[in-house]
Structure 1
Amino acid sequence: MMSRYHQRFERDFRGVWERREQCGSNGSCGGTVNGCVSTSANTANNRPGLLPLPVIPSLLPTPASCTTSTASNEITCKRLSLTCSTSSTKVSGHPTADTQAQGQVLANSVRWGQTPINQSTPWDTDEPPAKQMREKDIAAPLWPPQVSATVSQAGLLANTFTLPQPPVYSQCATIQTPIIGVTPALQTPHPQLPAHFQLPQQPSQPMSSMVLNVQSQTLAVGGLPPMPSVCQVAHPVGNGHLTHPMVQSAALTCSTLPTNGPLANGLQETCSNGLQMLKTVGLGKYEFTDPCHPKEMLKELNQQRREKEFTDLKIIVEGKEFEVHQNVLASCSLYFKDMVKRLSAENRSGEKMQLSMSNISSDVLELLLEFVYTGSLIIDSVNAKTLLEAANKFQFSTFCKVCISFLEKQLTAANCLGVLAMAEAMQCTELHNMAKAFALQNFPDVAGQEEILNVSKEDLVSYMSNDSLNTKAEELVYETVIKWIKKEPSSRVQHVSELLAVVRLPFIHPSYLLNVVDNEELIKSSEACRDLVNEAKRYHMLPHARQEMQTPRTRPRLSAGVAEVIVLVGGRQVVGMNHRSLTAVTCFNPQNNKWYPLASLPFYNREFFSVVSAGDNIYLSGGVESGVTLADVWCYMSLLDNWNLVSRMTVSRCRHNSVVYDGKLYAIGGLGAAGNLDNVERYDTITNQWEMVAPLPKPVHSAAATVCGGKIYVFGGVNEAGRSAGVLQSYVPQTNAWSFIESPMIDNKYAPAVTLNGYIFILGGAYARATTIYDPEKGNIKAGPNMNHSRQFCSAVVLDGKIFASGGIVSSEGPALGTMEALDPCANVWTLQQSMPCPLFRHGCVVIKKYIQSG
């Protein structure tokens, strides 16, 4: 009894296949074959729902030549005579088309009435796959014999390459093809090809070989002259469709590339470094890019410079000669570009040009030339200013940016005014703003440095008159002005009235004003200074008339806004039954119990990140966004109130911990794409580089981490089984070694940890109110006072000798908390604090010194 598929075939396709066999036996049909195929296709199309029987190219008795026409976008296949010569190369040991049965169209393993279909398609056949594949049903080899095909890529590949096919290798590109009608899948995608050159992986099955001979031939297209790099295939592959030539070579590996010829050697060298890139830029056009080329060229040019080969410019500085290449130097410096142009116009003899320079030292020039020819240079705090001045003077724009970035991270109270003056002279806005903000915020430290006594009068006036000068007492400003004048009284005493005018005398304490300022000899000797002191006295004695005394000296400074604040970063908010990610960043000033908005996060829908403060900057690392684990590191710069992407971790991670020790940031454990992570990374904010350190003994995520007594402690967390890890791990940075102890008392997860007075406090977690206190010296754990609310996914910081816990969620169903609690160790009790702007959890929380404008 025939199945419905057998009946459908007898009804719709039997005549077509019989005519096709007749064409094959005659040896020449012209366009009949195509006509037969199109007839069958039309027949199938006239009956919706029926599947057309696919063409089985692997078993056609003769190869087909495919010609591409640019006019009609059609591919015309002509059956060639068995006697005609082809460009295919027969491989010994494999049957050819001459030995095949002329009428054989279906593979031996496929019976009449069955439609060979792609195995990834869930269509049914008459027999289950297990029965079809049984040995007793297979009367002949399951896989069809190999058919040779020819690919012509004259403009791209000049040699014949081999795809890996263990254990036998041939001089032909071999592609594995599965059962008839199934698109072949490449076993290993080429690592250097873009994604659109790679085929999706198919289920692994035994495959037969299809041999492609790569030859240097061209293809005539629609009456146009032959074009290189166009594929001429003597036989379609896969399921009857032509395959892009680059797909055929996608599985090439460095080990199988031939080493004869310059192209092969070049490919082998770039492959070993993983830097070769080959991509399509048009029809039959491919672009090859070697990222190593600039580096290798610079290396060779530098070698030529050292050996004085092909140099055409001699620079003489302090009696020392530097021979360089004009074009190399001019490509990096606009100054030398113009100089070389002028010298070239004057030098008509063709001799090597010479240039004597006196406005730069030989050591600095040698460092600049080293950077020009290598792209790298060692910068330190000693030579940074000198290099920046030289780079700015001679217009090395790239090197200027490098020096500016370095100096921004090297600002201290002892050098910020010098950097400020230099940046202003060079009109470097970015460095000027950073140095100015640093000097204003750190005035108490700057005032104690010797550098402030050596600045110019103009710079001192500009500095002292700024409303943003951070000083808790105006008396310090007055004392700094008097010290500056007394450093060189003979030349500076004439500026005493101008300098005293920038001091906010009305805000000096009355007793200090009468006992110190009024008795200063420099003040007594100047009538203008006495008027300024009298103005301050009237301000104190006549408070009702202060509205009429509006002068620049009666305007208070904004330094009252500079304080240690608690910063809340991002998090999740519960809206009804849903959660929503927040981008808001806010800070809380405990001195006035007020919240202030800061620059929002530059991304959306990110959670499970880690936040830590280093100095007055905030670093946010990792997290998950739209299901993708990230490695980004963002920095919030307190002085400029903005977020910047500064680096990327070596490993993408989320639910990890980050701490700062000795000025370096540590990213610990977490959750990666493959599960729990045990690796630990260390980030240097100066060099902007990450490095791996000793891994965690027990990989965990969602743990509690803090620094205490020169060690990094990691408490609990979630292990690989999804349970509480029950382990305490400690790390000593000096020895780069971890140690751990396991204890059932350490069962915290989703809880923060902070250090106060030599003790480590672990707060809440797992819907708990408990406070756990760990003594690192004695190694014991005890219970502390309970919080007012159960808090999971909360955050905690230490400020003014108190522990502040913020936000969190009560249970898995909510609600989120919008309150903060503070623990005073002396009273040993938690007290509720100011409410947060909104309830949130999974947020970051740090403490920084922040300047906040009042009003």
Structure 2
Amino acid sequence: MADDRVVFCKEDLPIAAFPIIVDIRKQGKLCDVTLKVGEQKFSCHRIILAATIPYFNAMFTHDMVEAKQDEISMQGIDASALESLVNFAYTGKVELDQNNVQSLLIAASFLHLQSVKEACCDFLKERLHPQNCLSVRAFADQYMCSDLVESANKFIQNSFKQVAGTEEFLGLDRADLTDIISRDELNVNNEEQVFEAVMAWVKHVMNKRKEHLPELMVRVRLPLLTPQYLSDKVATEELVKSSLQCRDLLDEARDYHLMPERRTLLQTFKTRPRCCTDIPGVIYAVGGLTSSGDSLSTVEYFDPVVGRWIVAEAMSTMRSRVGVSVLNGLLYAIGGYNGSERLCTVEVFDPDSHRWKKVAAMNCKRSALGAASLNGKLFVCGGYDGVSSLRSVELYDPKNNVWVMSTSMHKYRSAAGVAILHGEIYACGGHDGLSIFDSVECFNMTTGLWRTVASMNSKRCRLGVAALNGQLYAVGGYDGAMFLKTVERYDPTTNTWEYVKQMKVKRSRVAVAATYGKVYAIGGYDGQANLNCVEMYDPSTDTWSFVSSMSAHEGGVGVGVVPMENCSM
């Protein structure tokens, strides 16, 4: 016997009904409550407000006094913002602009309209700039918008030089200034910029602020300044000369330079280089391999904002398994393999002039090397010289155009992943020609020593490594049996690795870069073919998604991120 009950569902009924309710309200019909702000009044329907605005839901359904009143006075809320949010209750739409966004955020916070509050935060995030980021951060902190506070903090760190030149910066209170200049992640070319920002802040209201200089100078990393700058600029500054505490800090910095044998005793946060790992920039893909195995001189770049790859000026040399790093806004292509021999040559690309030029060659031939920049120097670690894997390390001084040998790693590492985290160089995985490693070692510039840290969960060579948000990501690679799509993340505070979401595609010889708060896995080899596809990891959602594929490469590239301020496209 057939069931004689049927449920008919008109799914668009709520959507169709609300425009009619809006028309009824415009006619002033069936309204049963009036909201009053000052002299302005807004006629509404209790049931609509209760259904769409949590504040009114609580008011009208919990026997509050206002539940029975025909007219309700609203205190502490802007009239135009309330009008916009009442309209939102009926239409689901609200228009945001520079003039109303703050008052709307305050009103939405008051009414517990979280979706509108988040939309206001997103609006402000997208419009952060050096002139407003400090006031936006203070506003966001007041109204407990934690994501917006974090975005403003990152913007301040990434754009410190520009922010430090604003009136808002000079108007900071001492606590906020101390907080900013204490951060490891400040994006500065050198510590001179921090010292000069502090002096500008003190001199802006010198009579009231000069007493704070000693405690601020503690947060300036004076040992990172050159001896010449310490003598010519810091020691001659009258405010420093007139402060016994500041002179003691200056002497401590001089001792650091004059007595290198005591540096291990003087090692504090003051000797730790600043290291901003989340600078918005353009990803350059350099060299690589064709499907037939030939090396390439091809270069292209990816702007995450535009979302597409564009071919750039080619190198003068074909290079696969090339080391790539960015120093002072310039892109370096280091060593590699040209199809017949391993290379010691190095060339550098200036994004402003769009030209490559050769600089001093390394002391050793290296392909499958790791490269990173730190404290004004370029470091290359390990690699393969055509005969064996290497554990030697070289550093390049761009001022003198010279490579010198540095402390060797503990292990011979070819095809390792190398990145900078909290002012230290990490070398992850790789192989020595016989064994593939899960081990990780870390170099501290102050001590001049490598130390072993926690091993990865997987053995990996030909992996990619990048630092983001104070953590290290090890991506893909080859473990001796399988081409990997697994990804793991290192937390230096706990010295532990944990797996995160794996990629969609297996990638050995993968290049990895971090920018705009995301990690990009670029190209590689899946065990059957070279890859031109690119995936992006979002740590906030623990998800990978495909973005535009490379247009001129088939895999095996080296990558570097050039800060936006250095790009002229």
Interval containing the TM-score (normalised by the shorter chain) = 0.5 to 0.7
1:504 Cα deviation (Å)?
0.9
Question: What is the percentage of aligned positions where both structures have the same residue?
Answer: 29
Contact 1:419 1:435 in 2 (8 A): yes
2:188 counterpart SS class: coil
Contact 2:130 2:166 in 1 (8 A): yes
Q: Could you say which residue in structure 2 is the equivalent of 1:597?
A: 465
Distance 1:368-1:543 versus aligned 2 partners, 3 A rule: same
Q: Deviations over 1:483-514 (max 9, x none)?
A: 22233334433322222221111112222222
Distance 1:392-1:574 versus aligned 2 partners, 3 A rule: farther
1:442 Cα deviation (Å)?
1.8
1:386 Cα deviation (Å)?
3.0
Q: Could you say which residue in structure 2 is the equivalent of 1:498?
A: 215
Alignment partner of 1:228 is 2:4:
yes
Alignment partner of 1:450 is 2:171:
no
Alpha-carbon distance in structure 1 between the residues aligned to 2:163 and 2:537: 20
Q: CA RMSD in A?
A: 4.4
Contact 1:434 1:639 in 2 (8 A): no
Contact 1:316 1:322 in 2 (8 A): yes
Alignment partner of 1:345 is 2:71:
no
2:9 counterpart SS class: strand
Alignment partner of 1:411 is 2:133:
no
Q: Could you say which residue in structure 2 is the equivalent of 1:37?
A: none
Q: Which amino acid aligns with 1:597?
A: V
Contact 2:324 2:560 in 1 (8 A): no
Q: Could you say which residue in structure 1 is the equivalent of 2:299?
A: none
Distance 1:534-1:618 versus aligned 2 partners, 3 A rule: closer
Alignment partner of 1:424 is 2:424:
no
Alignment partner of 1:288 is 2:64:
no
Contact 1:635 1:643 in 2 (8 A): no
Q: Could you say which residue in structure 2 is the equivalent of 1:318?
A: 38
- Structure 2 counterparts to residues 15-164 of structure 1, below 5 A: 68=1
Alpha-carbon distance in structure 2 between the residues aligned to 1:526 and 1:490: 14
Q: Deviations over 1:60-111 (max 9, x none)?
A: xxxxxxxx3xxxxxxxxxxxxxxxxxxxxxxxxxxxxxxxxxxxxxxxxxxx
Q: Structure 1 stretches of 5 or more lacking a match?
A: 1-67, 69-220, 222-226, 230-284, 577-585, 608-612, 621-632, 648-657, 659-792, 797-806, 809-816, 821-835, 837-844, 851-855
Alpha-carbon distance in structure 1 between the residues aligned to 2:174 and 2:37: 35
1:286 Cα deviation (Å)?
4.4
Q: Could you say which residue in structure 1 is the equivalent of 2:104?
A: 387
1:382 counterpart SS class: coil
1:304 aligned residue (18, 21, 24): 24
Q: Could you say which residue in structure 2 is the equivalent of 1:361?
A: 78
Q: Which amino acid aligns with 2:64?
A: A
The number of aligned residues is 355
Alpha-carbon distance in structure 1 between the residues aligned to 2:544 and 2:504: 15
Q: Could you say which residue in structure 2 is the equivalent of 1:551?
A: 268
Contact 1:634 1:644 in 2 (8 A): no
Alpha-carbon distance in structure 2 between the residues aligned to 1:641 and 1:531: 48
Question: Which structure's CA Rg is the greater one?
Answer: 1
Alpha-carbon distance in structure 1 between the residues aligned to 2:111 and 2:535: 32
1:438 Cα deviation (Å)?
2.2
Alpha-carbon distance in structure 1 between the residues aligned to 2:550 and 2:87: 52
Q: Which amino acid aligns with 2:22?
A: N
Distance 1:562-1:370 versus aligned 2 partners, 3 A rule: closer
1:317 Cα deviation (Å)?
1.7
Distance 1:391-1:347 versus aligned 2 partners, 3 A rule: closer
Distance 1:541-1:331 versus aligned 2 partners, 3 A rule: farther
Contact 1:523 1:529 in 2 (8 A): yes
1:568 Cα deviation (Å)?
5.8
2:51 aligned residue (309, 319, 331): 331
1:306 Cα deviation (Å)?
3.1
Q: Which amino acid aligns with 2:273?
A: P
Contact 1:510 1:540 in 2 (8 A): yes
Alpha-carbon distance in structure 2 between the residues aligned to 1:288 and 1:483: 68
1:520 aligned residue (215, 237, 240): 237
Q: Deviations over 1:594-638 (max 9, x none)?
A: 26535769763599xxxxx9x958899xxxxxxxxxxxx999489
Alpha-carbon distance in structure 2 between the residues aligned to 1:575 and 1:287: 62
Q: Deviations over 1:345-379 (max 9, x none)?
A: 3369x55132231x222122222222222111221
Alpha-carbon distance in structure 2 between the residues aligned to 1:634 and 1:425: 40
Distance 1:592-1:414 versus aligned 2 partners, 3 A rule: farther
Q: Which amino acid aligns with 2:44?
A: V
Contact 2:278 2:516 in 1 (8 A): no
1:309 counterpart SS class: coil
Contact 2:158 2:278 in 1 (8 A): no
Contact 1:469 1:559 in 2 (8 A): yes
1:459 Cα deviation (Å)?
1.9
Alpha-carbon distance in structure 2 between the residues aligned to 1:495 and 1:398: 42
1:434 Cα deviation (Å)?
2.3
Alpha-carbon distance in structure 2 between the residues aligned to 1:327 and 1:521: 69
Distance 1:410-1:606 versus aligned 2 partners, 3 A rule: farther
Q: Structure 2 stretches of 5 or more lacking a match?
A: 294-320, 326-330, 335-370, 372-417, 419-463, 467-472, 476-484, 486-501, 508-512, 521-532, 565-569
Q: Which amino acid aligns with 1:488?
A: V
Alpha-carbon distance in structure 2 between the residues aligned to 1:311 and 1:641: 43
Alpha-carbon distance in structure 2 between the residues aligned to 1:559 and 1:530: 29
1:323 counterpart SS class: strand
2:129 counterpart SS class: coil
Q: Which amino acid aligns with 1:346?
A: V
Contact 1:618 1:635 in 2 (8 A): no
Alpha-carbon distance in structure 1 between the residues aligned to 2:536 and 2:135: 25
Alpha-carbon distance in structure 1 between the residues aligned to 2:534 and 2:120: 21
Alpha-carbon distance in structure 2 between the residues aligned to 1:403 and 1:317: 22
Q: Which amino acid aligns with 2:465?
A: P
Distance 1:846-1:371 versus aligned 2 partners, 3 A rule: farther
Alignment partner of 1:468 is 2:185:
yes
- TM-score relative to the length of structure 2: 0.53
Contact 1:616 1:638 in 2 (8 A): no
Alpha-carbon distance in structure 1 between the residues aligned to 2:540 and 2:560: 18
Contact 1:505 1:536 in 2 (8 A): yes
1:547 counterpart SS class: coil
Q: Which amino acid aligns with 1:523?
A: V
Distance 1:493-1:639 versus aligned 2 partners, 3 A rule: farther
Q: Which amino acid aligns with 1:473?
A: N
Q: Could you say which residue in structure 2 is the equivalent of 1:824?
A: none
Contact 2:223 2:257 in 1 (8 A): yes
Q: Which amino acid aligns with 1:290?
A: E
- TM-score relative to the length of structure 1: 0.36
Contact 1:472 1:559 in 2 (8 A): no
Q: Which amino acid aligns with 2:4?
A: P
Q: Which amino acid aligns with 2:37?
A: V
Q: Which amino acid aligns with 2:11?
A: D
Contact 2:217 2:246 in 1 (8 A): yes
Q: Could you say which residue in structure 2 is the equivalent of 1:263?
A: none
Alpha-carbon distance in structure 2 between the residues aligned to 1:531 and 1:324: 68
Distance 1:429-1:447 versus aligned 2 partners, 3 A rule: same
1:548 Cα deviation (Å)?
0.6
Q: Deviations over 1:166-216 (max 9, x none)?
A: xxxxxxxxxxxxxxxxxxxxxxxxxxxxxxxxxxxxxxxxxxxxxxxxxxx
Alpha-carbon distance in structure 2 between the residues aligned to 1:478 and 1:497: 12
